[in-house]
């Protein structure tokens, strides 16, 4: 992805969150230069990679395949006393923008429609060999209520609603094209995206950045370079 795309995505996310009265922690609004004066008080933030993340999952088509996220809280298995034993994210999706199919080996998560557009979630079970099972049914929980599903079923999650994704359940979600910008949330067990994502469609969570312009806001993957600069 180009840094200019990332700058624009975060700026658009700021606008969407403001429109719905959703505030982030103070550092969610810091310009990149402000991070140069950050001290050890930010250790918990940087160690747990709290903050912005933008990805096109290596597909080169951010308007259709991508997401803008802000990790509000998280922990790490390696440092249990320096984070939380759970994770929370806020995410923004443009109309029609979706994630590729993936599952998590360990993480369980509630995916929530907070405001704006309509959240669509499609489900498949995973086989023992980690391929997508296009025939088997299952059970999923919508706001805690058990709902049967058939392979490939799409759930429409209204504003205020949620769907619980358990480990090894293939899912993808998107903002319905005919609705507005979607602001969503995720509440989960600790999120470890570098090791706990199993993607299909030749997708990947972390992608190289083309630094075509200077960053307006830092992403959480920028923190290591910030530490090196100190």
- What 3-state DSSP class applies to 100? coil
Report domain extents, the chain. Answer: 3-229
pLDDT digits (tens, 9 = 90+) for 46-99: 999 999 999 999 999 999 999 999 999 999 988 888 999 999 999 999 999 999
What are the backbone angles phi and psi of residue 138, rounded to the nearest 5°?
Answer: -165, -170
Residue with tokens 């922690």: 25
Q: How far apart are CA 195 and CA 192, in angstroms?
A: 6
- Tell me the pLDDT tens digit for each residue of 127-143: 999 999 999 999 999 99
pLDDT averaged over every residue in the chain: 95
Location of structure tokens 């609705």: 179
The CATH fold of domain 3-229: Jelly Rolls (2.60.120)
């Amino acid at each position: 992805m180009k840094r200019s795309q990332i700058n624009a995505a975060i700026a658009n996310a700021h606008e969407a969150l403001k429109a719905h009265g959703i505030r982030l922690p103070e550092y969610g609004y810091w310009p990149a230069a402000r991070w140069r004066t950050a001290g050890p008080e930010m250790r918990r933030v940087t160690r747990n990679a709290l903050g912005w993340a933008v990805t096109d999952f290596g597909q080169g088509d951010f308007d259709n395949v991508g997401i803008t996220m802000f990790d509000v809280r998280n922990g790490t298995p390696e440092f249990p006393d320096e984070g939380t034993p759970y994770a929370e994210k806020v995410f923004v999706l443009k109309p029609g923008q979706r994630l590729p199919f993936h599952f998590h080996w360990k993480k369980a998560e509630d995916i929530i429609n907070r405001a704006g557009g309509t959240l669509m979630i499609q489900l498949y079970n995973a086989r023992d060999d980690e391929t997508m099972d296009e025939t088997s049914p299952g059970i999923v929980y919508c706001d805690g209520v058990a709902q049967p599903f058939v392979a490939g079923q799409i759930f429409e999650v209204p504003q205020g609603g949620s769907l619980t994704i358990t480990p090894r359940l293939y899912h993808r979600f998107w903002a319905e094209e005919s609705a507005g910008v979607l602001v969503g949330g995720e509440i989960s067990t600790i999120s470890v995206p570098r090791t706990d994502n199993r993607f299909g469609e030749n997708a990947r969570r972390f992608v190289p950045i083309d630094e075509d312009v200077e960053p307006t806001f830092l992403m959480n993957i920028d923190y290591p370079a910030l530490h090196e600069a100190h």
